Amino acid sequence: MPFVIYATPFFSENATRNIEALLNLPGVRLAVISQAPQEELATESRARLVGHWRVADALDTDQLLAAARALGERHGRIDRLFSATEQMQVQLAEVREALGIAGMSAEVARNFRDKARMKTLLREAGLPCARHRLIADEAEALDFAREVGYPLVVKPPDGAGSQVTYRADGPGGLREALAAIGPEVGREALLEEFITGEEHSFDTWSIDGEPVFHSLTHYLPTPLDAMRNPWIQWAVLLPRETDEPHDDDIRAAAFETLRALGMGTGLSHMEWFRRADGSIAISEVAARPPGAQITTLMSRAHDFDSIAAWARLMVFGEFVPPERRYAVGAAFLRGQGRGVVRAIHGLEEANREVGHLVTDAKLPTIGQVPSPSYEGEGFIVVRAEETAAVRHALSRLVSLIRVELG
């Protein structure tokens, strides 16, 4: 019976789903390390855990190491230690190395976590990605801007997704972004050329370094545009069509990217662009399950539980590729104005038009405090056999529904 430790700072909705999936694996003894008290978990889930260890800082390697050692002393040899939280990947890899636990090494974890290091490795491998530079002050930033031109993307090198990411359209915007991030020697900011085009994700299931399944999605529009414009209601589309010839270039580049970074066993999430001239550019890759409800989209597209499949992949190294049956999409509902959610407009008309395609929904509630996430205050997932029908439904949802703040 394998002894598995799952680590998470907090018991978010995603973390709770991951824990439930692990608890449902046959023969697995599960313990949890968290910053949050275990009482925040459902009573039934707590009763099924063999152990829990609370730490003051879930991003501190020493505390994670002490917690894992203590749990190992109580429950036996640790077979797996992992998390879906991107900010914990390096620290957990360091703990695995210290305790001799199988899994991704710290060096490989840094390849995925440090975006500047990642892009250097990709460029050395001849893979298309944005020009970039780590900068410690304004002078270095302005020098890079003169070399590359505007607009620029400014973010910490260990950022996650589009969080704490800025677009600078000129010197003034660059200075504002730098003031928000506060780069310095030893804590540099990452500057990249801004790539224009259609943005997509490429999610890959790998076993022992070999891709065994992949899924591609389209962002409508890009997450960075959504972050810069809080009023934008955006969507993610997962088409029914797979292995289309026009995607041969990104498939080859994605798999070569994972080899260059050292991916072993797990689910990875890559963001990439297709420029107007048809060329591709890789933005970044994370060695974790995707956000933006993409795991839900994969589940609905294939009529399987992608979280349960990920749990089995991480613990047993097993994955059975599912059959793509549908096109699926998620429309994200974001509040307009300031304050709390005051009203939701257009739901009845949206339901009349596309309600028959809805599989999942999390609607905003009156009085709800707006979320800082680009996913907004709620979402609606739609599914159909034809990709065009899903694309149309997403367009209607983001057009008809308006979340009023006040």
Enter the tokens of residue 65. Answer: 């190491």
CATH domain 3-103 topology: Rossmann fold (3.40.50)
pLDDT of residue 57: 97
| Strand ranges (E), 246-354 | 266-274, 280-286, 327-333, 335-336, 341-345
CA distance 200 to 218: 4
Residues of the chain with pLDDT under 50: 161-162
Enter the tokens of residue 142. Answer: 């302005």
307, 5, 206, 196: CA torsion to nearest 10: 70
Q: Which of 37, 22, 48, 61 is nearest to 316 (CA)?
A: 22
Residue 193 is which amino acid? Answer: E
pLDDT of residue 134: 87
Superfamily of structural domain 131-193: ATP-grasp fold, A domain (3.30.1490.20)
CA distance 251 to 342: 44
Residue boundaries of the structural domains of the chain: 3-103, 131-193, 198-405
Q: What is the value of pTM for the model shown?
A: 0.88
For domain 198-405, give its CATH number from 3.30.470.20, 1.10.8.60, 3.40.50.2300, 3.40.50.920: 3.30.470.20
CA distance 232 to 238: 20
